[in-house]
Amino acid sequence: MSTAVDIAGPSSPDQAHSSAKIPNEPLRPSLKRSSHPYSLSHYISTPSPAVDVKGLIQPSPGQQRAAQPGHAKPRRAPSSWPDMFESPSGLHLAHAAELLMRAGLLALTPAEDSSGCGADFQPFLGAWFPFSPALFPLAGFQMGGGHWRSTAVGAESIEGLVAEGYSPGSLGGGGGGRRKRKRCGECVPCRRQTNCEQCSSCRNRKRGHQICKYRKCEELKRKPGGPGFEILYPTQ
DNA sequence: ACTAACGTTCTG
DNA sequence: CAGAACGTTAGT
């Protein structure tokens, strides 16, 4: 449970000034299964009030200060960054929310009928989500083009969305050659709209040519052909 | 042409 | 092995 933090990534400042141009997410409505070490029950059984999670997520002022760029080492980022910011592996909190949604435990609020809600939460898009039934799904699905409407989106809905034109092949895995795969657009990292500007990828963007760690698609983190990959991209 | 970012290779 | 650097692809 101690690792369930870093989907947040560094929060506030980056919202305002992510220097990099953030493209509109190539949101794909297909919801793919992700193989995570934790099962749904793992999350359900773990009491995690929004406040507590938020408390874990929010970096302390001291931590933020330590993260100030400026004293860049030529190599190897200094250990001043706490693990909570440097370990994208902790994304399972997001995964938990995803699982909960699938299980119908999280309610999806339609963007249109947001009586102000959508606007209120907009600033949180992609940054971090308090583990609250209302906040988390709203962000991504609002951008999703109004596909998501009801509380429990069943597998049929997902399949239908997939059938809208996003085939596994179109994701780059199908061509046969080693074409670039594309971001799934659905996972929490993909839904982030801002670069944290603090992770190693952001700080080293010029040379690293890598997307912000917290925006790195969970699917792309997997090796094609690696464990679980065929599940994500079933051969048809 | 320029930029973003995926994939591969290199390095510690 | 993880992370950095680089080559390359893809979108605008």
- Write out which nucleotides of chain B lie closer than 7 A to a protein Cβ: 3-8, 12
State the pLDDT at residue A216.
92
Nearest nt to the CA of A210 via C1' is: B5
Cβ of A201 near strand C (distance < 7 A): yes
Tens-binned pLDDT, residue by residue, of chain A (236 aa)? 443 334 445 543 334 334 444 443 433 333 333 333 333 333 333 433 333 333 333 433 333 333 333 333 343 333 333 333 434 444 444 444 444 444 444 444 433 333 333 333 333 333 343 333 333 333 333 333 333 333 333 333 333 333 333 333 333 333 334 688 988 888 889 988 888 888 999 998 888 999 999 999 988 888 766 555 444 444 44
State the pLDDT at residue A222.
82
State the pLDDT at residue A179.
80
Give the tens place of pLDDT for each residue, A54-65: 333 343 333 333
State the pLDDT at residue A210.
93
State the pLDDT at residue A186.
87
Cα–Cα distances in Å, from A26 out to A33, A144, A145, A184, A190? 18, 9, 11, 8, 9
Q: Which residue is closest to B11 in terms of CA–C1' distance?
A: A75
Distance, Å, A46 CA → C8 C1': 44
Distance, Å, A224 CA → C8 C1': 18
State the pLDDT at residue A228.
52
State the pLDDT at residue A202.
92
Give the tens place of pLDDT for each residue, A216-232: 998 888 876 655 544 44
